[in-house]
Structure formats: C-alpha cells, structure tokens
Structure 1
C-alpha cells in the first residue's frame, strides 16, 4: 500500500473515533449524576403494563411494544429484584406506558388499544419522599449509559445513608430518564403479579417445611445416609427461596436496573401514611435497613 493509502486509512480511523467519542459524550457519558432525597419526579400515576419474569434485557421488548401503541406517552419500568443477587430467570419487572398523571384523565380509546394488546392497568399514589436522579435521554445508548452509571451511585447513596428504598422505577420522557425509589408506601408500587408470586413462594416454603417434617418422621429408622440426603434437599430448597428474599432485603441498601428488593411480607413492607420529614425517615430507615425489604435495581437494566 502506498503512503497516500495509509494516510487515508489513518484519517478515516481518526474521524471515526472522533465521531464515536462525540456520540458517547452527547449520550451522557460524562453527564453529572446528582442523587437527592425529596419530592418524586412524577405525581399520582395510572399506567398500563405487562409483567415479566426473566432477564431485565427482555423488559426492553415490553417498552418498545408499549411505545408503539402510544408513542407520545412516557414509558415506565418498575424493577423488583437486584439482578446481581437474584438469578436472571427469577427477576421480576413491570413495563409499559403512563396514560395519566395527577388529575389528568386517560384517553379511553388509547386505553382500550392497550388492553386489547394484553396490557393491564395499575395506579400508584404520589409519595412525599423518594430517592431520585435523572440522566439525559438523547440516544438509544443513553439508556445503557444511564443504567451503568446511575445504579452504582444509587447503591452507594442508599447504603451510606442506611435508607430503605424499593422498588426502582425508570421513567422515560422525551429528554430525560428519571430514576426513583420510594421511601414510603412501597407496597403500593407492587403490581398484583408480584403479590401473587410472593404468595406462591410462601405457600411453597410451607409445603417444603411440612414435607421435611413428615419425611424425617417416616424415615427415622432408615440409614443415616438417607437422612443426610433429606437434609441436603431441604437446604437446597431454602437456598433457592432465600436467594430472592435476600435480594429484596439487600435492595434496601443497594442498587437496582433497575435496581434492592424484596422479601418480607408485603404487609410489612408497605409504609402507608409515612409522611415524615427526610431526617426522621433517615433515622427510621436506618433501623429498618438492618432487615430491609425489597429493593431494584433497575433497568432494563442493571444486568451485565
């Protein structure tokens, strides 16, 4: 190759790198991330959603489907488990579009279109205190950058202040991605499918416990090797169920995408009417966070 050819290749490579760097910077690569505790970025909300158990990457499909029906609406994702601690197939999320906020009324025709496509309707109240931040929403890559950059900061912020914040929400507007986790009335942010999953998990643990007891009695005269197998089987079952419980508890002092999250009963986890001042919330949550309830990392993210 001639020197001229080498020069052209070098210039092309330099321009490509320059354009890529500019694209990343525009997408939010170096944008400031300011996390605070205070009023939420959204008011009382009614939204349509589909529930999904599995890798949070699949949540992008639900957001894309929701956006195709109502492109002018803000999309929303709610993440109930920390993907760092809960196996991908067991992570739970709800994703869709916000159809009304505050006292606004939903477009009934649009609402019917969503319901025809299999979306369900759910509402949650406006809370007084949340952990929140925002990130630029300028390109598709902004979503990936936001998830990678925001959740580690949220994790540190929540852990350092011993807060109990869950689940994690991501609201996608035209120019910003809002990340938030409520510090009160968390139970109101759990869609019915999550409550049902919790009930099934509790019932399964009771069945496993009964089986262990009856199995131990019926095999009391068997060899010690059999007893060991029974014991190991029980521990395996507990490990599977506690993995999600720890993720939910830890979520209160960790991350999300997002997002930490769950598992004490939803009754305990709902702090309805907790409109204390931030100082008092921090004081109370420092006690709760020793055994925090669910917490999301979040979105579409949070997963490697």
Structure 2
C-alpha cells in the first residue's frame, strides 16, 4: 500500500512539474505581452521574395514555412495574407509563403535562388512604402506565433477601424528574433502576386459559367413545360373519328352521338318503330350523355344493341310474310 501511494504521489508531482513548465514557457513566449499598434515606416524597404501561392485555410501555411526554413534556414521568412477569414470562406483564402532573397537592392544569392526555383517557387518584388500600420511581437518559440496571432490581429483591426484606414494585405516577416506585422497604406496592389489576379478572374469565370448553366437549365425546363402543355392541349382538343363495329352501315362520331341507321321500308318497320320508340330514344339520350363525359365504350354498346334488334325484327317480318 505504501509503495502504491508513493507511485501515485510521484505521478502527481510529475504532472504538476509538467504543467508548471508549460505555463512558464507560455508566459515566456509572450502570454502577458501587449503589442502596441501604430502607423509609421515599415520594418523593411524594397525586397525580392521567393514564394509559393496557396489557396485555403491559413492554418495550412505551417508546412510551407517549414519548407522555406529547410531551403534557407538563415533567411528571413515572409507570409502575406490577402483575405479576411471572417468574410471569405476558408477554401477561398489566398496567401503566399516565401523567403526574402534581397533587401534594398542587395545582391541575390544565385545558388539559393536556383534552389527555390527548382522547388517551384516564384519571384516577386515588394515595393518600398513610407507608411504602414505595424507592430512587433517577440519570436521566442513556436508558441509565440499562436499567441501573436491571438493578440495582434484584433488590435490591428481595431486600429484600422478606429482611424478609418485602408490597410491591406497583412504581411508577417520572421527575422529570427521578432515577428514583424505590417499592412501597407499605399501601393497595396504591388503586394498582390499575379496568381491573386488569376485566382480572382477564375472565380469570376466560374461564377459566370454557373449562372449561364442555371439560365440554360431554367430555359430548357420552361421550354419543356410549354412543349408538354402544347402536346396535352392538342391531344385534349383534337377529336378522333372512329368506326364502331365491323359493319360500315353503323357509324358513330364522338362529337355527334346520334347513330346513323340504314334505311328500311316503312311498311316493314312500322311495328318495330312502335315497339322500340321509347327504347331507342332512351338509348340515344344515354349515348349523348356518355359521349359528353368522354365514355365512348357505352355509346358503342348502345348502337350495337339497336342494330341487333333491327336485324331480329326484320328477320321475324320476313318469316311472317312467308
């Protein structure tokens, strides 16, 4: 029991030491520092950078900074962020990460330049500006980057809004000791690499294409509806004429429901007319009603009955005369 208690106490002691160490490191990395934001001259003049353009979440910039540090560990690293993540979707955010090859017209190391070009980096020159919104944060550890982002960007935004300035894009420069933040107040367009314009044009083209496809689809559907409607109207309005039964002597028309009966001598049909007068009228009336409601089968059946009765009565009259 005593040994278990000692192990438990030892584990707690290690955890406390670890927590204290982390806390000290976070404090040392700038947890309680308050960056001062102001306007003035930038931390660098005209510079030439080797960069890679990316689109996506700013959180994905880390691997590119690592790649830059591997190629040129003694060079200053730079990152430029073009879009406000509160206004632009994460997948559409544009930024570059690179290395500074030259400052104030200093000579470029051609070997180093070749290394970057071989890794698909491109070159761009950032202009000298006289006035920027800026601040500095100490770069002590990797934690300093996260603390700086948490502390600096809200203050830069508040400063720009308070003084009603037009300051963009945001530039971060790492010199090994400090993280220098700045947003130019002039020549902003020269801080945008060519891929930014191409990316914007591509996005506009995609939007136009999407709108065109939507318009074509709506037009097609509208045309299809009109075609269906026209077809329906034609099938509903155009009457079909048909022959009822195999005999050509009895015809019917859906529009005119009265049957056409072959002529028979009046003397031979006298009794038939008397016997079937009411029935014939009833059937004819019934045929008209059913035709008006669209039922052709009932009308056809009535006419066939009339024909059969006519033939039977004629046959009986012939027998009587014989």
Counterparts of 1:136-215 in structure 2, within 5 Å, are 136-210=138-212
Q: SS at 2:34's partner residue?
A: coil
Asked if the contact 2:34–2:151 (Cα under 8 Å) also holds between the matched residues in 1, the reply is no
Q: SS at 1:150's partner residue?
A: helix
Give the whole-Å Cα distance in 1 for the aligned partners of 2:31 and 2:155.
14
Give the whole-Å Cα distance in 2 for the aligned partners of 1:170 and 1:106.
21
Q: SS at 2:124's partner residue?
A: strand
2:89 equivalent to 1:87: yes
Counterparts of 1:2-151 in structure 2, within 5 Å, are 2=2, 3-151=5-153
Give the whole-Å Cα distance in 2 for the aligned partners of 1:145 and 1:152.
12
Tell me how far 1:203 sits from its aligned partner. 3.0
Q: SS at 1:42's partner residue?
A: coil
The aligned length equals 224
* Structure 2 length-normalised TM: 0.64
Tell me how far 1:214 sits from its aligned partner. 5.9
* Structure 1 length-normalised TM: 0.68
Deviating more after overlay: 9-18 vs 179-188: 9-18
Give the whole-Å Cα distance in 2 for the aligned partners of 1:223 and 1:56.
48
Tell me how far 1:42 sits from its aligned partner. 1.3
Deviations 1:215-238 (A, max 9, x none): 6666666769xxxxxxxxxxxxxx
Deviations 1:186-229 (A, max 9, x none): 110001110101122233344455556666666666769xxxxx
Give the whole-Å Cα distance in 2 for the aligned partners of 1:150 and 1:212.
43
Give the whole-Å Cα distance in 2 for the aligned partners of 1:210 and 1:137.
50
Q: SS at 1:174's partner residue?
A: coil
Greater helix content:
2
> Gapped runs of 5+ residues in structure 2?
227-322
Asked if the contact 2:46–2:104 (Cα under 8 Å) also holds between the matched residues in 1, the reply is yes
| CA radius of gyration, larger in | 2
Deviations 1:140-166 (A, max 9, x none): 111111112211222222222222111
Tell me how far 1:106 sits from its aligned partner. 1.0
Q: What's the counterpart of residue 298 of structure 2?
A: none
Q: SS at 2:198's partner residue?
A: helix
Give the whole-Å Cα distance in 2 for the aligned partners of 1:208 and 1:58.
28
Give the whole-Å Cα distance in 1 for the aligned partners of 2:209 and 2:111.
45
| Structural RMSD (CA) | 2.2
Give the whole-Å Cα distance in 2 for the aligned partners of 1:120 and 1:143.
25
Give the whole-Å Cα distance in 1 for the aligned partners of 2:223 and 2:111.
68
Structure number with the bigger relative contact order (C-alpha 8 A, sep ≥ 6) is 1
Tell me how far 1:171 sits from its aligned partner. 0.6
> Gapped runs of 5+ residues in structure 1?
225-304
Q: What's the counterpart of residue 292 of structure 1?
A: none
